[in-house]
Structure 1
Amino acid sequence: MDSNSSPISRPLSSDVEGLKLAECWRALASASLGRLAVLGSDGAPDIFPMNYVVHDEQIYLRSAPGAKLMAIVRDARVAFEVDAMVDGIAWSVVLRGTAVRLDTDDEIVASGILDLRTDNPTAKHNYIRVDPREIMGRRFHARG
């Protein structure tokens, strides 16, 4: 995804501004906790909070075995969302893409995922890259 080819920031409404692609990646890189959405075994969405790292305009995750990995095997289409509020300005970035389980040591090491410390103490020895297909973000002044 080429950050120079992204649409310019534009007002989505009088109070909400769309983010350029480069702004979306900067926002994603500034945080470490997001939400991974997958399709559950019943076809309904499941959402998992996950720590992550950004490397070369891709999201990298660590996971223990379980429902999210099984969901990715069934259907690799995922969404990933991150949001925050800084100095009264709220932002949100949603990335849609394909989850790929990493299977080579070289890619695992190069991604930086081995340095990721997760909030959940469960051992996580499964490494996932999310290849973005679409990314969108917005920001606005929070009320009150």
Structure 2
Amino acid sequence: MAADDPVTVLSEDESWSLLGSASLGRFVIVTDGRAEIFPVNFVTQRRTLLFRTAPGTKLYRAIMSDQVAFEADGYTDVEGWSVIVHGRAHLLTATAEVLDAEEAPLRSWPATVKPHYVRLIAMEVSGRRFRFGPEPRQ
């Protein structure tokens, strides 16, 4: 892409780096043709995404879905970025998995009990960086 192009496709490494700098994203599940979107705070851990949740719709649909998606973004005064991850969600149940997840700097934001860890295993990662500026003349 040209240096003055306002949209840049990010490499997988750049995408993971930006995901590592974020803490809020949107977890997406499609059920019966309808997208369900859940905001979650998360961390990255060895090129996976990790979040906590309570029993309920989000947890049930996460582990029952063949594929899920996740999106996070960020911005400054001059640019923004967006990264999308497609993959599978895995409920951590084995003691070693849970202990590993507990080493991550992940804390629940709201004052609620969220005893379950979910790890999103990425199958595809794509990202874009957007340089802000005036709309070009036609």
Tell me, yes or no, whether TM beats 0.5.
yes
SS of alignment partner, residue 116 of structure 1: coil
Aligned to 1:67: 57
Gaps of 5+ in 1: 1-9
Aligned to 1:36: 27
| 1:10-89 matched pairs, under 5 angstroms | 10=1, 14-40=5-31, 42-89=32-79
Following TM superposition, by how much is the alpha carbon of 1:88 offset from its aligned partner in structure 2, in angstroms?
Answer: 1.6
Cα distance in 1, alignment partners of residues 76 and 130 from structure 2? 11
Alpha carbons 2:85, 2:124 under 8 Å: kept: yes
User: What percentage of residue pairs aligned between the two structures are identical?
Assistant: 36
Query: 1:118 is matched by which residue type in structure 2?
Result: S
Pick from 112, 118, 139 the counterpart of residue 129 of structure 2.
139
Alpha carbons 2:50, 2:119 under 8 Å: kept: yes
Higher radius of gyration, 1 or 2: 2
SS of alignment partner, residue 44 of structure 2: strand
Cα distance in 2, alignment partners of residues 65 and 140 from structure 1? 37
- Give the TM-score normalised by structure 2: 0.87
SS of alignment partner, residue 62 of structure 2: helix
| 1:95-134 matched pairs, under 5 angstroms | 95-112=85-102, 115-134=105-124
Aligned to 1:5: none
- Give the TM-score normalised by structure 1: 0.83
Cα distance in 2, alignment partners of residues 95 and 113 from structure 1? 23
Query: 1:104 is matched by which residue type in structure 2?
Result: A
Following TM superposition, by how much is the alpha carbon of 1:109 offset from its aligned partner in structure 2, in angstroms?
Answer: 2.0
Following TM superposition, by how much is the alpha carbon of 1:114 offset from its aligned partner in structure 2, in angstroms?
Answer: 5.9
Gaps of 5+ in 2: none
Q: Could you say what the CA RMSD is over the residues aligned between the two structures, in angstroms?
A: 2.0
Query: 2:130 is matched by which residue type in structure 1?
Result: F
Cα distance in 2, alignment partners of residues 122 and 128 from structure 1? 16
* Matched residues, number: 133
